[in-house]
Structure 1
Amino acid sequence: MIKEATLQSNKLPTFEDRKFLRENYVSVEKETIDSACKSQNQIDIDEEQAAVPTCICLNLEDLKCFEAVERQYEQWGVIFHNSVAIQPSNPAFPTHSGVTVLMGSPKSGFLEATFLRPVHWVSTFVTSSQRLVLCAYDRHNQLLTQTALPAANLANSDSALPPSTLLSLTANDIHRITFSTFDGQFIIDDFSFCF
């Protein structure tokens, strides 16, 4: 179960244990971001006294179906490109949690996320109709590392992989990641990253 933290005008959430456990994520809802932005702009935050969360798991449930997703999570350090929020009606693409996921669109088979400050760990649950490659790049667009979903993992198929397979990357100074599949569709859910 994910603990949810809401940023209030005079207090930021803190985490004592900084391991990459799901209990340590901040679940970010769109409404939380809006209120967090207003309160953070109204007060001065002493960075030495306030501990900013090191890991964030985006909650996509407040996004509208077919909403283009780009800067909705900018205040949390990530901007998406070629991304749309959907609520899959095809049972071959089940969600991992909730009903809303991200899909590459308008260009199918591709999705990109750019981080406003470097991260060192990225994770998400993926369901794809084809082999999918997740790549991480540094600020100079040099490939740092990559991982792949070796084959399709649609629900109710003969795939050896279950739907909503967890993919993650670890590298120093990740500035951008890309998801790509040739001639296929995919969805991502519970997108998480750590600074």
Structure 2
Amino acid sequence: MVKQATLQSNQVPAFEDAKFELENCDVQNHNLVKASISRVQLDEGINNVEFVVPECICLNLEELKCFESVERQYEHWGVIFNNTLAIQPSNPAFPAISGLTVLMSSSKGGFLEAHFLQPVNCVSAFVTSSQRLVLSAYDRDRQLLAQTILPGANLANSDSTLPPNTLLSIKAHEIYSVSFCAFDGQFTLDNFRFCV
């Protein structure tokens, strides 16, 4: 069973107050595209048919090379990353939820950002962290819109009450960027998804 931590305010919840739901971004009712690095898959799908802009995009990380710096690979899908690295974890404490490749912060600071070329209303990812992690959403002027918190570490094979790959999602009107921060900890992201 997938668990998700959700918070729709700027207040930090107690662990008991965190709501756990299956999927806060409600992708079942949206047009979802699995986004690859190249647009070949998109271009082939058009072929004289009117193309409908997807409402939700889930990034395919498997085309990234291990230890590749991730920045503009998904720009044509509307997202640019900062301080991000693709890895295939050798540490079993950080398992991928699908495939082999995940994203992580490329510095020891435990901080990763995603900037959207057009505003989105929901962002989610499966997160495994060595400590408490905060997902923050910002508007165009870099004003905080909302935060979602993973209250503690959720490493695999640990005594954590949270399983690895806990789904964190955040909803707000017109999100222009999000940041994941584990305050000098380490974390991985898998199935990074955003919806308009």
Assess same fold via TM > 0.5.
Answer: yes
Structure-2 separation of matches of 1:166 and 1:24 = 20
Gaps of 5+ in 2: 1-25
Q: Does 1:194 align with 2:195?
A: yes
> 2:136 aligned with 1:125, yes or no?
no
Asked if 1 retains the 8 angstrom alpha-carbon contact of 2:108 and 2:186, the reply is no
For 1:29 and 1:133, how far apart are their aligned partners in 2?
27
* Residue 32 (structure 2) aligned to one of 25, 30, 39: 25
Asked whether the equivalents of residues 109 and 183 of structure 2 are also in contact (C-alpha less than 8 Å), the reply is no
TM-score by length of 1: 0.81
Within 5 Å, give how 1:155-174 maps onto structure 2. Answer: 155-174=156-175
1:26-46 superposed Cα distances (whole Å, 9 cap, x missing partner): 111224x25647998xx999x
| Alpha-carbon distance change, 21 to 145 in structure 1, aligned in 2, over 3 angstroms | same
1:77/1:175 CA distance change after superposition, 3 Å: same
Which residue identity is paired with 1:25? Answer: L
Distance, in Å, in 2 between the alignment partners of 1:50 and 1:112 is 29
Q: Which amino acid aligns with 1:182?
A: F
Deviations 1:94-135 (A, max 9, x none): 001000000001343000000000000001000000100000
Q: CA deviation at 1:147?
A: 0.5
Q: Could you tell me the TM-score, scaled by structure 2's length?
A: 0.81
Residue 97 and residue 67 in structure 1: after superposition, are their counterparts in 2 closer, same or farther (change >3 A)?
Answer: same
In the alignment, residue 119 of structure 1 is paired with which amino acid? V
How many residues were matched structurally? 172
Q: Structure 1: 5+ residue runs without aligned partners?
A: 1-18
Q: Following the alignment from structure 2 to structure 1, what is the Cα–Cα distance between the partners of residues 98 and 30?
A: 15
After superposition, give the CA deviation of every residue in 1:70-116 in whole Å (9 maximum; x if it has no partner): 00000000000000000000000000100000000134300000000
The one-letter amino acid paired with 2:27 is F
Contact 1:103 1:188 in 2 (8 A): yes
Structure showing greater relative contact order (alpha-carbon pairs closer than 8 Å, 6 or more residues apart): 2
22 and 86 in structure 1: CA distance in 2 versus 1, 3 angstrom threshold: farther
The answer to whether the Cα contact below 8 Å between 1:126 and 1:167 also exists between their aligned partners in 2 is yes
- Asked if the contact 1:82/1:107 (under 8 Å) is kept, the reply is no
Q: C-alpha distance in 1, partners of 2:100/2:30?
A: 21
Taking the aligned partners of 1:44 and 1:181, their CA distance within structure 2 comes to 46
Q: Does the CA-based 8 Å contact 1:56-1:194 persist in structure 2?
A: yes
TM-aligned CA deviation for residue 22 of structure 1: 8.8
Q: Is the 8 A contact 1:37 1:75 kept in 2?
A: no
Deviates more, 1:22-31 or 1:162-171: 22-31
